[in-house]
Amino acid sequence: MLTVRAPATSANLGSGFDVFGVALDRPADIVRVEKAAKTTIEVTGVGSQYIPEDPEKNTVGAVAEALEAPAHIEIDKGVRPASGLGSSAASAAAAAVGLNELYDRGYSREELVPIAAKGEAVVSGDAHDDNVAPSIMGGFTIATDEGVTKVDADIPLVACLPDIVVSTRDARRVVPETARVEQLVETVGWAATLTSGMHRNDPELVGTGMNDTVVTPARADLIDGYEQVKAAAHAAGATGVTISGAGPTVIAACHESDQRSVGTAMMDAFDEVGVQSRVYQTEIGDGATIY
């Protein structure tokens, strides 16, 4: 038996829709894998009642099949499903890393990204690398059709998860089909600024780059209190605020000294619109770790 911890992730970061992602230091899923004649799955932990254990319907079943690695797989969920924190990606990433090791398949971390993304597709309907890449590789990742570029970055983050459920499928339905050239130009500017900020470990540049006038505004209506929470986080010192993944988590970048006040301000703002929430004071962390 082998145990893997795979972290929650935040994708998009505003300007990097379907491309940028970061591994979060916490929360995380813990996955145990053991060789077996056929794949069986057991799920416990946060939101486990909503996760199917049928290998045909569970994200890790597709990963086991892709790696031809049947196993008994125990998933202890630390990342709530439908949170915007890469919950299914964390399980898929952990299974890919664990089964690759258990069956000695010899894939590199980067090669495991599209394999884990197949698992992601089972639940989200589309294969996206932007969550599985950082969960497998850690750091800040830029996932494109040409592969994954990873930057080891050190940026304090606050993730505020409201007690609302937004499915990735629903959040993708509201994404506009077109954007204006001016929006393309400003998005390139923000994405370049954010990437530069990651290289320099600069929360101001990263925050400036966490901007988006195309996808995020279209999704904001799915999150009660989003605008109030964003304003409160900025007032408490956040350098940038956006929707994490497909939502409903709201993620902020800030200086370490402001982390606590930003977290409290976000939670209070959700509270004012009658929504309970919990806060993760976190930072960019490592990818999946085998124990």
Active-site residue set: 120, 168
Q: Is 86 annotated as a binding residue?
A: yes
Total residues at the site for ligand HSE (CB under 6 A)? 12
> In the complex, what is the shortest distance from the CB of residue 244 to ligand HSE, in angstroms, rounded to a whole number?
9
The β-bridge relationship of strands 2-11 and 140-144 is unpaired
> In the complex, what is the shortest distance from the CB of residue 247 to ligand HSE, in angstroms, rounded to a whole number?
8
Q: Which of 29, 76, 130, 212 binds ligand HSE (CB under 6 A)?
A: 130
Q: Say which residues have a Cβ less than 8 Å from residue 108's Cβ, sequence separation at least 6.
A: none
Q: Which of 5, 77, 118, 128 binds ligand HSE (CB under 6 A)?
A: 128
Residue 208 binds ligand HSE, judged by CB under 6 A: no
Residue 246 binds ligand HSE, judged by CB under 6 A: yes
Give me Rg for the CA atoms of the chain: 18
The kind and range of the H/E element at 148 are: strand 147-151
Piece in contact with ligand HSE (CB under 6 A), picked from 102-110, 146-154, 166-174, 220-228: 166-174
Give the side-chain half-sphere CA count within 13 A for 283: 16
For 103, the token pair is: 């069956």
- Residue whose CB is less far from ligand HSE, 168 or 208: 168
Q: Which of 159, 171, 206, 253 binds ligand HSE (CB under 6 A)?
A: 171
- Residue whose CB is less far from ligand HSE, 16 or 78: 16
> 235-239, long-range: CB within 8 Å, 24+ apart, which pairs?
235/265, 236/261, 236/262, 236/264, 236/265, 236/266, 237/261, 237/262, 238/158, 238/207, 238/262, 239/203, 239/204, 239/206, 239/207, 239/208
**Residues at the contact surface with ligand HSE, assessed by CB under 6 A:** 11-12, 18, 124, 128, 130-131, 168, 171-172, 245-246
